[in-house]
Amino acid sequence: RQRQTQFIQQLLQASKNPQPLTPNSPQGLGSAPVNIALSKYWGKRDKVLNLPINGSVSISLPGLGTETVLKPLQTGQDKIVLNGEQLGADVTFAKRLSLFLDYFRSDACPAFTVETVNSVPTAAGLASSASGYAALVLALDDLFGWQLPKTDLSLLARFGSGSASRSLFDGFALWHRGEQEDGMDSFAEALDSHWPEFCIGLVKVDTKEKAVGSTVGMQQTVETCDLYKSWPEQAERNLQTISQAIIEQNFGTLGKTAEHNALSMHATMIATWPPIVYWQPESVAAMQIVWQLREQGTEVYFTMDAGPNLKLIMQAKDQDKVRNAFAEHGTQVDFILPFAE
Ligand code: DP6
């Protein structure tokens, strides 16, 4: 915790507020989108500072995310309200949040009220920890009047959850692995792009809570999976290819590389002991629909995270074909256009 406290103190030196832990206003507001990695983060090189073994690149989904209101509390414990419901202090979600908030307590502000609303329909099967910690960090910045640049806020969000570092940005974001031991160069930044045809399709297989969370899952993989040895090199290569494909708006290269990257990550999960298999029969059935669509000439790809749901990587013009192909199997697809006007 000492290294973490040091890191945060160092960051807050850039704050516009000379007393960075004294509230500047009665409340702070923050909102952030969920993101989907096209080249994945899987594995930590430093668990304390939450530094990744490899960089990653993502796309944020507008309209799906978290809104947070943060208020200082003079006494007592944190009050954490999720989607209108106050959580007990022993609920895992509340515990993790309070641990994170410990870094930002002072005599002027010993506790917080956190009111957080996830606009991610629970049914979408999308992780909300990324948007959650990004929104919380934005709310902290607002409450304390830090006015820190987004890249610095990304460093803070990384402490809450690695993927949260990418949720500070709309559109494509690149989370740099970084080289420094102190972790100051492991932040995300926006990749400038406007790509109206770029489309994400959400295929829900199951929305129950996952059996193995990402933090534990990636640790087990790093410790026990022989296949993982080849992952860091592949992940960095895929990251370069996808970043370049974003600049060139080369859809085929982006989709192919993202699908290959996701399946390679899942291969390392499966080759972990005890095995981590997030797939369900319906996940594989959905993959087969994607492969069949490709055989028929529709350029659609998929990616998957630590869960059974598929996220389709596709182009806006193919929405009808994709919708119909999945409808034949009784499956609904929700489409999101990250760069819609
Ligand atoms: C498979 O960011 O949830 O979604 O840093 O331990 O909180 P922690 O892990 P988290 O891991 C996300 C893993 C992933 C891939 C990705 O989003 O890059």
Digitized pLDDT (tens) for each residue of the chain, 341 residues in all: 789 999 999 999 999 999 999 999 999 999 999 999 999 999 999 999 999 999 999 999 999 999 999 999 998 899 999 999 999 989 988 999 999 999 999 999 999 999 999 987 655 567 778 999 999 999 999 999 999 999 999 999 999 999 999 999 999 999 999 999 999 999 999 999 999 999 999 999 877 766 788 999 999 999 999 999 999 999 999 999 999 999 999 999 999 999 999 999 999 999 999 999 999 999 999 999 999 999 999 999 999 999 999 999 999 999 999 999 999 999 999 999 999 87
Q: Would the CB of 305 count as within 6 Å of ligand 1? A: yes
Q: Are strands 79-82 and 85-86 parallel, antiparallel or unpaired?
A: antiparallel
> What is the spatial distance between Cα 124 and Cα 43, in angstroms, rounded to a whole number?
25
Quote the DSSP letter at residue 218. H
Coil, strand, or helix at residue 220?
helix
Q: What is the pTM of this model?
A: 0.96
For a mutational test of ligand 1's pocket, the pick from 35, 41, 215, i.e. the residue with the most ligand atoms closer than 8 A to its C-beta, is 41
Paired with 81 in beta bridges are 86, 115
- CA nearest to 226, candidates 269, 184, 189: 269
Task: Tell me which H or E stretch contains 261.
Answer: helix 251-270
Alpha carbon of 214 to ligand 1 centroid (Å): 6
Phi-psi region of 128 (alpha: psi -120 to 50; beta: other; left: phi over 0): alpha
Q: Which residues contact 187 (CB under 8 A, 6 or more apart)?
A: 151, 152, 154, 155, 158, 165, 175, 176, 178
